[in-house]
Amino acid sequence: MGTGSGTGDIGDTGGVVDDRADAKRTVLVTAHTGREAAVHSARLVMERLIAAGVNVRVLDDEAEELGCALAEVVPENGAASQEAELIIVLGGDGTLLRAAELARPAGVPLLGVNLGHVGFLAEAEMEDLASVVDRVAEGRYEVEERMTIEVVVRLNGSVLARTWALNEASVEKKDRMLEVVAEIDGRPLSRWGCDGVICATPTGSTAYAFSAGGPVVWPEVEALLLVPNSAHALFARPMVVSPKSTLAVEILPDTSAGVLWCDGRRRFDVPPGARVEVRKGEVPVRLARLLGVETTGAPFTDRLVAKFDLPVQGWRGRVRSG
């Protein structure tokens, strides 16, 4: 996990070292424009940032809805985040995963404001909006890196697709039940008739993999998760595997085709006889964590309790002696 901020690294004293005082800071703001609350919140964020002297960018396909005349309009491609300090995302985890596609190549951190349901990737809730913008304007945030996975689809030695994911790569049935063999580090593990197989990161352990019965893995743990989905087999437990391992899911020849989904956004057909290989990615996704706000920067345990509304009544904490 790395630390830093838009205006410099966080030093041992807890202060922010401003080594870019003369630079014009730029923040890209993106929102779920299908939600009125997200559009309204994005406008407030942009106005507040501009008032603080921060240059604001918006994507060209969102500019009309967000309607800030002083914002710089940029196309939704790799250049959108170039030389930006931060991307503020207003919406649910789906909106943030979309923004991750823009942020990852440039190494720009994402800061999510949750307007969805669970919103595990988000740093703040809508009611924290004013504090969020103030902390960004002051450079009061640190940056952590989240592991990604690289995904390759092969058929008879040829590469059919190459992509990546922050949460998971899921091989799923297309029409009928999948017949697959799972492989770890070049060795066969088990054959399953199933609805699919999920290869997830620790970040994705609270997403699709969780719904399929996978374990919750703390984000700072580096590991790969292999989670069979509705497998008709005696041995079909979710597994936590070394981050140095390579996972593979082979669709058996002369069986039904499958489909690969990465983060629920990028889709690829997987024909019978093809294999999907998954390994730790070389390029992480960076997430911003606010400093000095009680409702944010919380330990992951607290996030679990809050997001899943877990019952903790009766907890007294560690008994202190003396």
Question: Does 206 count as an annotated binding residue?
Answer: yes
Q: Which of 22, 60, 61, 93 is catalytic?
A: 93
The answer to whether residues 214 and 178 touch, using CB atoms and an 8 Å cutoff, is no
Side-chain half-sphere CA neighbours of 260 within 13 A: 30
The Cα-based distances of 137 to 59, 84, 133, 291, 293 in angstroms read: 21, 14, 6, 12, 14
The answer to whether residues 298 and 292 touch, using CB atoms and an 8 Å cutoff, is no
Give the Cα separation of 235 and 230 in Å (integer): 12
Question: Does 77 count as an annotated binding residue?
Answer: no
- Would you call 309 a catalytic residue per the annotation? no
φ, ψ of residue 209 in degrees (nearest 5): -60, -35
Question: Does 209 count as an annotated binding residue?
Answer: yes
Question: Does 20 count as an annotated binding residue?
Answer: no
Question: Does 7 count as an annotated binding residue?
Answer: no
Question: Does 308 count as an annotated binding residue?
Answer: no
Question: Does 168 count as an annotated binding residue?
Answer: yes
| Rg over CA atoms, the chain | 21
Question: Does 131 count as an annotated binding residue?
Answer: no
Question: Does 93 count as an annotated binding residue?
Answer: yes
Q: Which distant-in-sequence residues (6+ apart) come within 8 Å of 216 by Cβ?
A: 205, 206, 210, 304
Q: Which residues are catalytic?
A: 93
- List, as residue ranges, the binding site for NAD(+): 93-94, 98, 167-168, 195, 206-211
Residues belonging to the binding site are 93-94, 98, 167-168, 195, 206-211
